[in-house]
Structure 1
C-alpha cells in the first residue's frame, strides 16, 4: 500500500549506506547508523521550503487569532456562515492552516515507510525493497555495542538470540537513545512554544496543547521506545536535532526580515515627515503671499494718490521771491522785465 513511499525511502537509505560503506566497513553498525541519520537529513532538507511556509502560516494564524475568535463569537451559531467568513479571512490575509501542516503530514507516511523498510531486514530474507540479499544480511549482522539496529528492546529473548543479541545489550543502547530522543523532543517543542504570541499563548486550548507537546509527546519516546527498532529511535533523535537547528535558522531569518521591514516603515515615516515640513512651509508662505497680495494692491493706489497729491502741491506752491535788484526794474506783475511792454507804452520815445 505504501510502496510509493517505501521504495524511495529504501533507495535513499541504500545510497547513504553505499557512501559510508565506502569509508567504513559496510557491515558495521556505524555505517548503517550514519545511513539512517543522513536519511533523516535528506528527507528534512527536501521539506525545508514547506517547513518555512509552515512557520509563516502558523505565525499569521497567531497574529490573526483575535479576529478568528471574534468570528467564532459572532457566527458560532451558524457553522456554514462561520466557515465562509473564515475562508474569506484566510484568503484576505494569505494563510492556510492546512498548508501549514503539510510538512508534518508528509513526515507521517515517511515514518511508516522507514518502519516498514527496517522491519524488512530479517535473517534469511531474500530482499527488502531495493536491497538485495547481501545488503539484508549486512544490516542484520550490524550492531552498535552489541545491540542490533533492527531489533526492539521488548522482543522475546529467543527472537533476540536469533539476531545474535540479548536484552541487556539492547537496554544499554536503547535506553540512552530513548532518553535523548525525549529530551530533544522537549527542547524542540519548547523552542516552538516560546515563539507564540502572548494572545495565542493565553488561549486555554493553546495552553492545553502546549502542555501536551512539552511533556506528553516527549514521553512517547520513553513509553513507546521499547517497542521501536533502534534504527527508528535513531531516526527520532536525528529528526528532532534537525528540527531544533532548522527552527533556529528559520526563526532568526524571519526576525531579521521583520526588523528590516520595521526599519523601512520607520524610515518611510521619517522621510514623509521631513518632506511634509518643507511642503507645509511652502504652502504657508504661499498662503501668506496670497493674503498679502490684496493688501498690497489696495495700498498701491493710495501710494499713487499720495504721490500725485505731493506733485500737485509742489506745482501749486509759490516760487521764491526774486532779488531786490530785479524787483526795482519795471515789468509785469510777476516781476519779470518785458521789453515789449516798455516799447508798447504810449508817450515814450524810442
Structure 2
C-alpha cells in the first residue's frame, strides 16, 4: 500500500493544502487540536472532490444509458451465438467499439478519485511516522498526531501495535473497536449501493456479461474493502466511508428521479408519475416532462413499463404529447373504452309482457 501511495505522492501537496484550509475553518469552531476539526476537514475534502466529479458522474450515467439502448442488439447476439461463447464475446466487443460504449464506465468515478485516496493515505502515513509532508509541518503535524475520533487517532490503523498506538496517546482497544465499526459500515454501504443498482436500476429482461460483472462486483468489492480496511488509517476510513455514503445517496437520487428504462425502478417511477398526473391533470416539472417526451418518442420500441404507463393514461382519457405534456383526448377515451371492453352498449327495447304482445296497437289517428 505504501508503494502505491508513493506513486501518487505528486498530489500529496495539494491534498495537504486543502486539508489545512478546511482545518483552519473548523479549528476556529472546535479547536485546532480537536479530532472533529481534522475529521471534518477530511469529510469536506471528500465533498469537494465528489462535487468536482459530478460531470464525470453525468457522463457515466449517459454511458450506462447507452449500454441499456444496446440491450436488444446484445440479446440478438446472445441468441445467435448461444453455442459459441468466444464468437459471442467477439461480437459484443465489436458492438461496443462501433457504438463507442464502454462496459467499464461504472468504474470511472472510482478511478478518478483514486489519486486523492492514495495521496491522503500517504499524508496520514507520514503523520503517523511523525514526518512533515506538504503543508502539514511543525505545529500542524503535532496537532494532527494528537487528533482523535471517538478515542482513535486519525493516523492509527487496526494492525498497529500497542506501542505505536500508545505513542499517539490512545489505547489499542479503542483503535480496533473504532476501525472495526468503520470497516463494517464501509463494506455494508458499498454492498447496499451495488445491490440497489442490481435490484432496482438494471433492465433484467436481458442478461449480458456487463450485468454478470456488476453482480460479481456486488460481492467482491465489500470483501476487498474489508480486507484492505485493516491497513487503512482511521482518517482514510473516514474518507472512504464518506465517499461511500455520498455514492449511495447520489445513486438513490438518480434511481428515484431518472431510472434505467426497463428496470424495476422505472416501473415504480412511472407509477408515481401516473399519480402525479392524476392529481395535477398534467405533467409538472422539466425532468418529468423530459422522461414522458422520451417515452413518446420511442413509439413501438417502448418497453413493458412504458407501454403500461401509456395504456394507463389512455384509460384516464389522456394522451402524452411529444413535448412531455399530457392533454385530454376524446380519441384516447374511446380507445380506452374499446381496450377495456367498456364500449357503450346499445340500448335494448323494454321487454313487453305476454298480454301486451297479443294486444293490437292502436292505429295512429289520420290527419
Q: Give the TM-score taking structure 2 as reference length.
A: 0.64
**Residues 79 and 237 of structure 1: is their aligned pair in 2 closer, same or farther, counting only changes over 3 Å?**
closer
Asked if 1:121 corresponds to 2:135, the answer is no
The correspondence for 2:30, drawn from 24, 33, 50, is 24
8 A Cα contact 1:71 1:86, kept in partner: no
SS in 2 for 1:87: helix
**Residues 118 and 258 of structure 1: is their aligned pair in 2 closer, same or farther, counting only changes over 3 Å?**
same
8 A Cα contact 2:33 2:146, kept in partner: yes
What's the counterpart of residue 254 of structure 1?
258
What's the counterpart of residue 164 of structure 1?
169
Q: Quote how far apart the aligned CAs of 1:153 are.
A: 1.3
Q: Deviations over 1:285-326 (max 9, x none)?
A: xxxxxxxxxxxxxxxxxxxxxxxxxxxxxxxxxxxxxxxxxx
Q: Deviations over 1:54-109 (max 9, x none)?
A: 0221122133134246457679559988755542233xxxx444665432211222
Q: Which has the higher contact order (CA 8 A, sep 6+)?
A: 1
Asked if 1:137 corresponds to 2:142, the answer is yes
What's the counterpart of residue 285 of structure 1?
none
The correspondence for 2:321, drawn from 242, 251, 267, is 267
Q: Give the TM-score taking structure 1 as reference length.
A: 0.67
Distance in 1 between residues matched to 2:92 and 2:51, nearest whole Å: 37
Bigger shift: residues 47-56 or 7-16: 7-16
**Residues 81 and 223 of structure 1: is their aligned pair in 2 closer, same or farther, counting only changes over 3 Å?**
closer
Distance in 1 between residues matched to 2:240 and 2:36, nearest whole Å: 17
Q: Mark the structure with the bigger radius of gyration.
A: 1
Distance in 2 between residues matched to 1:80 and 1:227, nearest whole Å: 40
Bigger shift: residues 110-119 or 41-50: 110-119
8 A Cα contact 1:5 1:109, kept in partner: yes
Q: Quote how far apart the aligned CAs of 1:128 are.
A: 1.1
Asked if 1:155 corresponds to 2:188, the answer is no
Q: Quote how far apart the aligned CAs of 1:30 are.
A: 1.0
**Length, aligned pairs only:** 267
Distance in 2 between residues matched to 1:86 and 1:123, nearest whole Å: 48
- RMSD value, Cα: 3.1
Distance in 2 between residues matched to 1:187 and 1:229, nearest whole Å: 23
Q: Whose helix fraction is larger, Structure 1's or Structure 2's?
A: 1
Q: Deviations over 1:94-153 (max 9, x none)?
A: x4446654322112222111111111113542x211222211111101112321110101
SS in 1 for 2:202: coil
Distance in 1 between residues matched to 2:125 and 2:61, nearest whole Å: 33
**Residues 98 and 8 of structure 1: is their aligned pair in 2 closer, same or farther, counting only changes over 3 Å?**
farther
